[in-house]
Amino acid sequence: MLVGIVYIRFLNAGGFLSETDYKSDVHIITEKVKSEEPLLIEGFPGIGLVGNIASQQIIEELDMEYIGSIESRYFPPIAVLYEGVINMPVRIYENPDLNLIMVVSDIPINPSVSYDVSKALVDWAQSVNVKEIISIAGIATASEEPLVFGAATTEEMLERIKEKVEIFQMGTISGISGSIMAECFMRKLPAISLLGATQTQNPDPRAAAAVIKILNDLFDYSIDTESLIEQAEKIEVEMQKLAEDVRTTEQPSSTRKEFPMYG
Amino acid sequence: MLVGIVYIRFLNAGGFLSETDYKSDVHIITEKVKSEEPLLIEGFPGIGLVGNIASQQIIEELDMEYIGSIESRYFPPIAVLYEGVINMPVRIYENPDLNLIMVVSDIPINPSVSYDVSKALVDWAQSVNVKEIISIAGIATASEEPLVFGAATTEEMLERIKEKVEIFQMGTISGISGSIMAECFMRKLPAISLLGATQTQNPDPRAAAAVIKILNDLFDYSIDTESLIEQAEKIEVEMQKLAEDVRTTEQPSSTRKEFPMYG
Amino acid sequence: MLVGIVYIRFLNAGGFLSETDYKSDVHIITEKVKSEEPLLIEGFPGIGLVGNIASQQIIEELDMEYIGSIESRYFPPIAVLYEGVINMPVRIYENPDLNLIMVVSDIPINPSVSYDVSKALVDWAQSVNVKEIISIAGIATASEEPLVFGAATTEEMLERIKEKVEIFQMGTISGISGSIMAECFMRKLPAISLLGATQTQNPDPRAAAAVIKILNDLFDYSIDTESLIEQAEKIEVEMQKLAEDVRTTEQPSSTRKEFPMYG
Amino acid sequence: MLVGIVYIRFLNAGGFLSETDYKSDVHIITEKVKSEEPLLIEGFPGIGLVGNIASQQIIEELDMEYIGSIESRYFPPIAVLYEGVINMPVRIYENPDLNLIMVVSDIPINPSVSYDVSKALVDWAQSVNVKEIISIAGIATASEEPLVFGAATTEEMLERIKEKVEIFQMGTISGISGSIMAECFMRKLPAISLLGATQTQNPDPRAAAAVIKILNDLFDYSIDTESLIEQAEKIEVEMQKLAEDVRTTEQPSSTRKEFPMYG
Amino acid sequence: MLVGIVYIRFLNAGGFLSETDYKSDVHIITEKVKSEEPLLIEGFPGIGLVGNIASQQIIEELDMEYIGSIESRYFPPIAVLYEGVINMPVRIYENPDLNLIMVVSDIPINPSVSYDVSKALVDWAQSVNVKEIISIAGIATASEEPLVFGAATTEEMLERIKEKVEIFQMGTISGISGSIMAECFMRKLPAISLLGATQTQNPDPRAAAAVIKILNDLFDYSIDTESLIEQAEKIEVEMQKLAEDVRTTEQPSSTRKEFPMYG
């Protein structure tokens, strides 16, 4: 059962809702998490939309259940739709059998808000005993190979991915993904960054598929990537429309048809 | 009887006034609502001005009574006039016999304020036991047919409109209408979005009429749409003037003559 | 006697000072008002500077006494001068024999501040038992006739001006004048808006004279308008200089000679 | 002895430090003032830099002692240097034998901050029993004569300068100097504005000398103005460099060599 | 052991963590400092990147240990990487044997934030009993000689560098380095500013080497500068890439490969 902010003040005593407020401006509202010491994977839209394409595929393939959302006055005013039913643009899913939580976003997070959103997200993650965080994002490269670059907050975590990915030797990760990694580093919460190499600003399901293969390898998942590759052509067209729409959400009260990532 | 903010602090004990403050910056001040578990319909100006044209027609045709307004430091400094009498740009009306509350706005809500306004509106709606919310807005389409698209916060609500409207399969609703739907979804307050298809940025009373026909069907109203169609030509001219005026309200202390939506 | 903010905290108990703070950012500081249930007339500079030209003429012709000022961090940093003596740009005057209070401003109020200023002004007006407010402003028209348009917050107030002015049938009043009228409407404080028709952005003492004639008629004043018409030519030149100066007050610490409205 | 903000909280009880916070964002931190009912003269950089050129000359010629500074998050991040030693850009000096306090600034005060700075300064002035304030600034004129214009907050103060300066008949004083005069007027703290006429935006030590002559006359000082005139040529070159530097302080962490006003 | 903000609230009692919050928006989080009355040297990127090139060289050559970081919502959202391991962009290192603390930043500090960052840094420095601060930055000169300019907050400190550097006779130090010096001056915390002369906006390891030679002389360090000169060519290329990246961190969630300063 999902209950809004207004009620939480009274119902929190019952204990079946978890909520984390950061500076009263980023709110994470979910049903009670059932997983124990879960893995949390997050994917926000960045270059190539690698983060949210991969996350959406994982959510669908692992039959994950919607358990809540992140909302903020800092986010653009937007409701997303799937088959006529309203949902939130930043959503949280869970599969308790897999001890897995996913956070997926249809909207990019403005850099000026990344600090607050990452603090709120990691606060919440710690409050539900998340033991590790995987951040999925894209990275621009000149190479045409479907490489995945990796980085980690500790040597131990780095050891786990060393043989499976290209180690990101030196550089910076900026935006919400960088904020989350920095926040995990500061709190000593183990975290891995998986960056799918992409050559374009356009949606890149092939880069998302490359990241998912690494996850399958790391966690013994069997998430299908074939369908992702097959649908690549179709999704590329649709995602481009989403990107255009997101870019125009500053316009008041306009309404558009599109094909967003959804689960 | 309507009493301002300053007095409310002292008179609230009497209980005949309801007020909801959100972050002290959006204020909803009304007389005591008489309806029980009312339906609330809202229409803010967006594309085609479908929301406020439809709402204004409903208010007039159903003989609804003015009960209060929404005011905020975030709104442009503006008083609206009808036959020489001042009123507020965002108004609330009620018909207790129909258990119906209408919220209509003459001013567009800036996206940066949508979050606060929608929270304040849904807070207030819950405080007066609103059981369902209908959000009227426009949607841009290429088709010339007077279609109405629909979406809902729950499968049950979707069921009620399934046979009467085009289901909005996938996409986003942005602006104040999107914020209100997202807020209702989060709080599990049943809500329906009715989006009148329009082809232009100009006022579109025909799209408003199409939405009203759906409402007549859903709630057994007999709201006239003929007069709306007949007046379409005339109103189109007048609304265009309003739209121009609203665009220029940033100018300090200028005063203009126009023909706004009013009840 | 006039005492500043710092002292008020200690002297307020004595009761001879009235002060109204709105959100700590707009301050109205005056000597004790002697009038009982006074009329309050306000004139801020807008189109044609009708509001402050008319107000300044009333203050001079009715021998009104300076009793205080409105100050705010939101106002431009400016001191006005008359014959070598410093005064505030937004001033309050009183004539207790006439039960009349005037508020006159030499500076335009930024739309983003209108909300706070009008709330502070109407709060203060109610605190000194003002029974009615008249707002003087300009309105752009194509007609060359010296028309005065009128609007009111109630039917009763409208009745009083119906035969004397052109009723403002439909439209909007924006800026500080619109904010004050909306605020009065919300609080059910009777208020009338008198809008002198003007054709130009330049100072228009003839429009101010037309408004004063209506006030003479409404309240049995005998305020001279001949001198205003005679001085029209001269004042037009001077006011234009003020307008230019006000436009340039954003420059730090520049100082200019001019001929402002003053009493 | 001078002690920073952090310590003041603990040491204030000792009473040898005076501090005035305005809205926590403007801080005046000084050693204990020894003068009794002192005169306070202030000079901020404005047109012709008349205010700080004159103030710096007075500080040097009257052997005034540095007693503290004004600091604020609103000021540009800057340290000033003289012969290798760091100091603050807005400084306070005292000569207890003359019962005189000087406030001199090397940085212009942004108009949006003038309100807070003038309130903080006049608060502090009252806290150390300042009996009169003289504000030195420049005024743009077309005349080539070295005129000094004067204005005052009361008729009594005006009387004292009437025969010595050109009375500023009508106009406005904007910027920090205008804010301080308005603040003094509101609090009935006697104050005089001395405005040295200047024809250019460039540093004008001759205008500063003209103002100092008035001060010599008013207070029986014997401040040298010859050296100021002699150095005029040299200082003009150096001040221009300062003006250019101040204009470019928005650049992060750049460092420049220059010749600032200093004592 | 390093523990994040969330835990500190509970663990602070244990006393092994020091944290200084300034206005809740700049946070310094470190392990317990072991040095007694240490020297603190800071280097932020400014002209020629002299500050962070020199600081990074010192950290590496003196085998300093990472003990924590400065983080703020005001900083760009960024995580830095070295050999695949995440770290913070503003870092603090210690060598307890040398009683030395270093603060190095890979990101420039926006002037609007310099005030808060310098207050937080000096607060923290005082909380760990820092006895002296050295600020390293660049200074633009026309000369091709590898000069180092110096300034100090007191005559005593100036005496120590007088024979070793060019005394900065007159001028201003702006940006974070100027803020820190002004803050130290106000608090009477002894501080020296060492400004490596540079001719270009490009990274200038030779200017950094010149500053390090002064430090070697002042504190009997034997920090290698040869390797710095040798690597000059290579580092110039790499630093230019960092500078370009930092300039583009406003872009949401983009990720890049680069070669940042790191230890």
Measure CB to CB from residue D170 to each of C7, C249, C259 and give the nearest one: C259
Query: Which of C140, C176, C188 lies nearest to residue B77, judging by beta carbons?
Result: C176
**CB C15: neighbour CB atoms within 10 A?**
8
Chains C and D touch (3+ CB pairs under 8 A): yes
Q: Taking the C-alpha atoms of B143, B147, B148 and B150 in order, what is their torsion angle to the nearest 10 degrees?
A: -70
Residue A2 has pLDDT above 50, yes or no: no
Task: Assign A199 a pLDDT band (cuts: 50, 70, 90).
Answer: confident
- Chain B interface, mutation test: which of C26, C49, C174, most B Cβ atoms within 10 Å? C174
Q: Which two tokens stand for residue C180?
A: 């004050």
Q: Which comes out higher in pLDDT, residue A136 or E239?
A: A136
In DSSP terms, which residues pair with D70 in a beta bridge?
A: D28
Neighbours of chain D (3+ CB pairs under 8 A): C, E
Nearest Cα of chain C lies from the Cα of B232 at a distance, in angstroms, of: 19
At A183, the amino acid letter reads E
Q: Give per-residue pLDDT as tens, E204-220.
A: 899 999 999 999 999 99
What pLDDT does residue D242 have?
73
In this prediction, residue E91 carries a pLDDT of 98
Q: Is E110 on the interface with D (CB under 8 A)?
A: yes
pLDDT in tens, chain D (263 residues): 222 222 222 222 222 333 443 445 899 999 999 999 999 999 999 998 999 999 999 999 999 999 999 999 999 999 999 999 999 999 999 999 999 999 999 999 999 999 999 999 999 999 999 999 999 999 999 887 889 999 999 999 999 999 999 999 999 999 999 999 999 999 999 999 999 999 877 788 999 999 999 999 999 999 999 988 987 777 667 767 777 777 765 444 444 444 334 43
Q: What is the pLDDT of residue C25?
A: 87
* B185 in contact with chain C, both atoms CB, cutoff 8 A: no
Residues in Cβ contact with B89 at an 8 Å cutoff, skipping those fewer than 6 apart: B75, B76, B78, B79, B80, B105, B106, B107, C172, C182
What's the pLDDT score for residue C117?
96
Q: DSSP label at A249?
A: T
Q: Which of A47, A110, A168 sits opposite E84 (nearest CB)?
A: A168
Please name the residues between 243 and 262 in chain C that touch chain B, using a CB distance below 8 Å.
none
Which pLDDT score is estimated for C259? 37
Cα separation values, A47 from A111, C114, E93, Å: 14, 43, 34
**Which chain C residues contact residue D147 at CB under 8 A?**
none
Average pLDDT, chain A: 84
Angle at the Cα of B180 (from B177 to B183), degrees rounded to 5?
150
Q: Does C182 touch chain B (CB under 8 A)?
A: yes
pLDDT tens readout for residues E41-77: 999 999 989 999 999 999 999 999 999 999 999 999 9
Residues of E in contact with A177 (CB under 8 A): 253, 255
* 8 A C-beta contact, residue E150 and residue E167: yes
Main-chain dihedrals φ then ψ at residue D234, nearest 5 degrees: -65, -45
Q: What is the DSSP letter of B93?
A: E
Q: What is the reported pLDDT for B88? A: 97
Q: What is the mean pLDDT of residues A145-169?
A: 95
In this predicted model, what pLDDT tens digit does every residue of B50-60 receive, in sequence order? 999 999 999 99
In sequence order, the β-bridge partners of residue C82 are C85, D170
Quote the DSSP letter at residue C83. Answer: T
For D241, which DSSP code?
H
Residue A223 makes CB contacts below 8 A (sequence gap 6+) with A57, A58, A61, A62, A212, A215, A216
Q: Contact E151/D81, CB-based, under 8 Å?
A: yes
- Give per-residue pLDDT as tens, A162-194: 999 999 999 999 999 999 999 999 999 999 999
Tell me the chain B residues in contact with residue A88 when contact means C-beta distances shorter than 8 Å: 182, 185-186
Q: What are E4-47's pLDDT values in tens digits?
A: 222 222 222 222 333 443 445 899 999 999 999 999 999 999 99
Query: Which among E153, E163, E219 has a CA at the least distance from the CA of E192?
Result: E153
Looking at residue A256, its pLDDT comes to 44
To the nearest whole angstrom, how far is the Cα of B249 from the nearest Cα of chain C? 6
- Condensed to tens digits (0 to 9), the pLDDT of residues C48-70 reads 899 999 999 999 999 999 999 99
CA distance A44 to A67: 18
Tell me, rounded to whole angstroms, the distance of Cα D53 from its chain centroid.
Answer: 9
Q: Which pLDDT score is estimated for D235? A: 63
CB B194 within 8 A of CB B166: no
CA-based nearest residue in chain C for residue B4: C187
Structure tokens at D117: 């700075």
Lookup: tokens for C158: 């409208």
Residue of E137, E154, E185 lying closest to D253 (CB–CB) = E137
* Candidates D75, D80, D253; nearest CB to E46: D253
Q: Among B109-113, D18-22, D152-156, E80-84, where is mean pLDDT lowest?
A: D18-22
Burial of B211 (0-12, 13-18, 19+ CB in 10 A): buried
User: Hey, are the CB atoms on C111 and B7 less than 8 Å from each other?
Assistant: no
Contacts of A260 in chain B (CB under 8 A): 170-172
Residues 6+ apart with CB under 8 A from B84: C150, C151, C152, C158, C162, C167, C168, C169
State how far residue D87 is from chain C, nearest Cα, in angstroms: 24
B24: left (phi over 0), alpha (psi -120 to 50) or beta: left
Element (H, E) at C120: helix C111-127
Strand extents, DSSP E, chain E: 17-22, 26-31, 39-43, 65-72, 78-82, 85-87, 90-95, 100-105, 132-140, 148-152, 166-167, 170-174, 191-198, 255-257
pLDDT for position C201: 76
pLDDT at res. B239: 62
**Which residue of E2, E72, E256 is in closest CB contact with A171?**
E256
- The predicted-structure confidence for A53-73, as pLDDT tens digits, reads as follows 999 999 999 999 999 999 999
Q: What is the pLDDT of residues B181-218, one digit of tens each?
A: 999 999 999 999 999 999 877 788 999 999 999 999 99
Interacting residues of B120 by C-beta distance below 8 A, sequence separation 6+: B20, B21, B22, B26, B27, B28, B70
Work out the minimum CA distance from E84 to partner chain D, whole angstroms.
30
Share of residues in chain B with pLDDT > 90 (%): 70
Chains A and D contact (Cβ–Cβ under 8 Å for 3 or more pairs): no
**DSSP β-bridge partners for residue B30:** B18, B68
The verdict on E202 touching A (C-beta cutoff 8 Å) is: no
Measured in angstroms, the CA of A140 and the nearest CA of chain E are apart by 7
Which pLDDT score is estimated for C247? 72
Q: Is C173 on the interface with B (CB under 8 A)?
A: yes
Which residues of D fall within a CB distance of 8 Å from E162? 84
pLDDT (tens place) for every residue of chain C, 263 residues total = 222 222 222 222 222 333 443 445 899 999 999 999 999 999 999 998 999 999 999 999 999 999 999 999 999 999 999 999 999 999 999 999 999 999 999 999 999 999 999 999 999 999 999 999 999 999 999 887 889 999 999 999 999 999 999 999 999 999 999 999 999 999 999 999 999 999 877 788 999 999 999 999 999 999 999 988 987 777 667 767 777 777 766 444 444 444 334 43
**Minimal C-alpha gap between C122 and chain B (Å):** 10
Tell me, yes or no, if D237 comes closer than 8 A to chain E by beta carbon: no
The verdict on a CB contact (< 8 Å) between E114 and D79 is no
Which phi-psi region, left, alpha or beta, contains residue B48 (left: φ > 0; alpha: ψ -120 to 50)?
left
ipTM reported for the complex, 2 dp: 0.80
Determine contact: C155 vs chain B, CB below 8 A.
yes
Go through the domains of chain C in sequence order and give each one's CATH number: 36-249 (3.40.50.10900)
Tell me the β-bridge partners of C26.
C22, C72
Residue A234: pLDDT over 50 = yes
- Using one digit for the tens of pLDDT, what is the confidence trace for E136-148? 999 999 887 889 9
pLDDT over threshold 90, residue E119: yes
Judged by CB atoms closer than 8 Å, whether chains meet at D186 and C69 is answered as yes
